[in-house]
Amino acid sequence: MLSFAITVLFTLTGTIAAATVVHCLVGARAAYRQLMREGEVLRAGLALQAAAVDMRLRPAPRRVIATRRVIGGQPPRLPRPVCPRPACAV
């Protein structure tokens, strides 16, 4: 019984993997055909092609890390905690 369950598990896993690969191949083939059609349209001059200057990559944004500076040798002042309500005198 255990060997049958393992056989079914491996068969099912293999079938799903094969179906996934076939699905990806079909999608890739369709994308390739579309790219080739667009290339033919561009070569025929039926569509305007963007200039290379417009297609250049933007520079990556610089990442800046905020650091606290000690001015005059004293640690920075922290804000006072705010009480939710004033204390009541009894």
Tell me the C-alpha distance between 45 and 76, whole Å.
Answer: 65
Instruction: Give 11-33 pLDDT, tens digit per residue.
Output: 999 999 999 999 999 999 999 99
Q: Residue 62 has what pLDDT? A: 75
DSSP state of 28: H
Do the beta carbons of residue 3 and residue 9 sit within 8 Å?
no
- Residue 74, beta-bridge partner list: 71
pLDDT averaged over the chain?
Answer: 80
- The DSSP-derived string for 5-16 is HHHHHHHHHHHH
- Is the pTM of the predicted complex or chain greater than 0.85? no
pLDDT higher than 90, residue 74: no
First to last CA, the chain: 79
Question: Phi and psi for 11 in degrees, rounded to 5?
Answer: -65, -45
